[in-house]
Amino acid sequence: MALRPGARAWAVWSAGLAAYTIAVLHRTSLGVAGLDAQHRFHIGAGALASFAVLQLLVYAGLQVPVGLLLDRFGSLRLVVSGALVMAAGQALMATTHSIGGAVAARVLVGAGDAMTFISVLRLVPQWFPARRVPVLTQMTGLVGQAGQVLSAVPLAAVLAGPGWTTAFIGAAGAGVFVAIVAFAALHDTPERRISSGPAITLGRLGRDLREAWRHPGTRLGLWTHFTTQFTGTVFALMWGFPFLIAGEGLRRTTASTLLTLFVLVGMAAGPLIGMLVQRHPLRRSWLVLGVITTNALGWGLVLAWPGRAPLPVLVLLIVALGLGGPGSMIGFDYARTFNPPNRLGTATGVVNVGGFVASLLTIELIGLILDARTGGRADYGIADFKIAMAVQYLVGAVGLVGILRNRRLARRRMAEEGVVVRPLREVLAQRRRLAPRPVVKAKT
């Protein structure tokens, strides 16, 4: 593969990125429409949360099967199929007035969404040299998050103006458009437009999944994704807009601006984290732990603030949450470096389960706590939200234990293979010993 990718490689990546961006728009559309959905379907916080939980449950449950299908059928077919399935879900959401119809719509969105991200991610090592993969992996995940801006600003504006049906029909139209673009522009590899892998058999399916899961590096990727991603996903997908408006008392326009800032922070931090991963691959876990600590401190400041937090404090929270997306992408780098190419789709699917399982559990727990506090009424106060949001620390603690345990196991496996990861304190101590001492000239 050429060291400098050509215009064709960038065109393929851009088409995949457009498909992923619209997938994120579909994924997060219910978050900005949460309060409208409660009035349209006459439901409480717990039932509203169950919509998002079901969507994420479908998404997470399909990650491993989609990973296997990706290894078999390639990116093009899965990206196009996913875009059309999500468009169908949004069209149904636009027209239904029943809870059953809304549930079916979110199932379709979750299923199509599951096909998109890892399929686009699979294109990167096919079209770009290995040295560019960590940064472009970050860019894929983070530029795609511009879909949150599309839901937080134009979709929210259409909801507040023309209304529900127009907003979701517009989202469905965007899905059909990117399906056409993907069909026209995507190629699975530089050599073949459609690349098919070996046929899926039960034996191969079980072997690939078993070998991917057995490697502690894959599990380290899963727990990394689990712990770094869920706080931002919970905020953007479901509870951020209600928290800022009903809890903190902000106007819709201000809340939309903060959600836009959330995306911009991730887009700015992603390339930096990608370069650090590229230059210091044996120190990736320290970046992960730094992101987790920053998220915990951001929420701790807001939850400990008496009453409603001032806008600068909320901005600090948004900046902290914005680092979660780039941090979660390190999980996919673990999958790439600890697994051979023939099971990369499977390993990536396993990793991608983590953050969305954590997110769906947290979304549902927050909804149940809010319902318990208000008796199912949608009149939440800041005290209700503070108690509900604090449950994130419990979920994060579970993930942190998983990271530390599997980091130890992965390092042991690497040592068996001849790669020794020295403790960071030893590396820093050696650098201090080797650092040149300043020359002090004698006075004359």
Q: Using CA atoms, how far apart are residues 379 and 249, in angstroms rounded to an integer?
A: 12
Collect all residues with Cβ–Cβ distance below 8 Å to 41 and sequence separation of at least 6.
Answer: 47, 97, 98, 99, 102
Dump pLDDT digits (tens) for 158-169. Answer: 888 888 889 999
pLDDT at 309: 93
Predicted confidence (pLDDT) at residue 400 exceeds the cutoff of 80: yes
Q: Please give the average per-residue pLDDT across 134-149, as a whole number.
A: 79
In a domain, 345, yes or no: yes
Confidence of residue 88 (pLDDT cuts 50, 70, 90): very high
pLDDT at 332: 84
Higher-confidence residue: 154 or 194? 154
Q: Using CA atoms, how far apart are residues 432 and 52, in angstroms rounded to an integer?
A: 50
In a domain, 184, yes or no: yes
Q: Please give the average per-residue pLDDT across 191-211, as a whole number.
A: 71
In a domain, 307, yes or no: yes
Q: Please give the average per-residue pLDDT across 144-151, as a whole number.
A: 79
Dump pLDDT digits (tens) for 96-116. Answer: 888 888 889 999 999 999 999
In a domain, 434, yes or no: no
Predicted confidence (pLDDT) at residue 443 exceeds the cutoff of 50: no
Q: Please give the average per-residue pLDDT across 122-145, as a whole number.
A: 81
Confidence of residue 367 (pLDDT cuts 50, 70, 90): confident
pLDDT at 197: 61
Predicted confidence (pLDDT) at residue 324 exceeds the cutoff of 50: yes
CATH number of the domain at 53, please.
Answer: 1.20.1250.20
Dump pLDDT digits (tens) for 56-84. Answer: 788 878 887 888 788 788 889 999 999 99
Q: Please give the average per-residue pLDDT across 191-218, as a whole number.
A: 75
pLDDT at 364: 85
Predicted confidence (pLDDT) at residue 202 exceeds the cutoff of 70: no
Backbone angles phi, psi at 275, to 5 degrees: -65, -35
In a domain, 205, yes or no: yes
Range of the domain at 185: 11-190+201-418
Rank 55-69, 81-95, 359-373 by mean pLDDT and report only the highest. 81-95
Q: Using CA atoms, how far apart are residues 237 and 306, in angstroms rounded to an integer?
A: 26
pLDDT at 434: 57
Instruction: Find the range with the poorest average confidence among 6-20, 200-214, 309-323, 338-352.
Output: 200-214
Q: Count of domains in the chain? A: 1
Cα→Cα distances 261→146, 158, 215, 316, Å = 10, 20, 37, 11
Q: Report helix angle 344-374 to 392-416, nearest 10.
A: 160
pLDDT at 417: 78
In a domain, 399, yes or no: yes
Instruction: Find the range with the poorest average confidence among 133-137, 232-236, 374-378.
Output: 374-378
Single-letter amino acid code for the residue at 135: V
In a domain, 143, yes or no: yes
Q: Using CA atoms, how far apart are residues 113 and 356, in angstroms rounded to an integer?
A: 12
Closest CA to 65 of 265, 353, 281: 353
Predicted model pTM: 0.68
In a domain, 444, yes or no: no
